[in-house]
Amino acid sequence: MRKLALSLLILQLSMADSGFCAERALAVVIEDPYIELHSGPGRGYPIFYVAERGEQIEVLKRRTDWFKIRVRHGEEGWVNDTQLARTFQLNGEPIELPGYSLADYGERRWEFGVLYGDFGGANVVSTYGAFSMTENLSVELWLSDMLGRFSNSQLVNVNIVHMLFPEWRASPFFTLGTGVIHTEPKGTIVATTDRTDNLAHVGVGVRTYITRRLLFRAEYKTYVVFTSRDDNQEISEWKAGFSFFF
């Protein structure tokens, strides 16, 4: 990536988007050689515009490692933070870009985490991945392993999560989902067979922002397992752990 030399000008502008952490927009003048604008916040997005030497650009918002900028002709695109980090002020000092903060959580698209807890008396270790459709609403896929005294189980679950106040450092949320649980009994005197059952759950929890991209998450869920017998089983689960977003 080409080295850039930019002159920093601070403009008293109202923010065009709440996703950028600073209170004022940054405007810089390109001196050498140029900046390539991507159509989205990632290297996989195509380059559609090249801002040339002498052009003034405005930094509008941040999404994890990418910054959205606007050029003088009105085009808006995305530039990686490493490209902006190597720019310079008039006094020769590098531009200090804002670090990650709680405001970046509202711009997240993906989230991953690992939690540990109790599932109906068995130890449970869970991992999940989430895709955010809006600031408040996301879809999650969970994979869990339960190690019990008499049986082991594996759970695959799909959740819808509603975050009540994503702008808060500690925000409660509600979750609703469905999935499949596979149970493998351990060796006993009486012969038993493996079984696979459908289930559904409702739950509540809290997400707490710690620093940068790191979150703490704790939750409680109540499951209903729809067994092949006429005695549906109710199981309670609690777990806590950490996750990160990008």
Instruction: Say if 105 falls within a structural domain.
Output: no
Structure tokens at 7: 């002159």
Q: Which of 115, 188, 182 is nearest to 149 (CA)?
A: 188
pLDDT in tens, 85-114: 666 554 555 566 666 778 778 778 899 999
d(CA 72, CA 6): 15
Clarify whether residues 117 and 87 are in a common domain.
Answer: no
Instruction: Say if 34 falls within a structural domain.
Output: yes
Looking at residue 93, the DSSP 8-state letter turns out to be: P
**Structural domain boundaries, residue 241:** 110-245
Clarify whether residues 84 and 126 are in a common domain.
Answer: no
d(CA 133, CA 130): 10
Clarify whether residues 127 and 237 are in a common domain.
Answer: yes
Task: Read off the amino acid at residue 205.
Answer: G
pLDDT in tens, 181-193: 999 887 654 556 6
Q: Which of 99, 120, 143 is the last residue of a domain?
A: 99
The tally of domains found in the chain comes to 2
Clarify whether residues 129 and 86 are in a common domain.
Answer: no
Clarify whether residues 114 and 95 are in a common domain.
Answer: no
Report yes or no on whether pTM surpasses 0.75: no
Tokens 């996703």 sit on residue: 19
d(CA 53, CA 31): 5
Range name among 30-39, 83-92, 212-221 with the lowest pLDDT average: 83-92
Q: Which of 99, 129, 149 is the last residue of a domain?
A: 99
Instruction: Say if 104 falls within a structural domain.
Output: no
Residues 6+ positions from 96 with CB-CB distance below 8 Å: none
Tokens 């810089």 sit on residue: 28
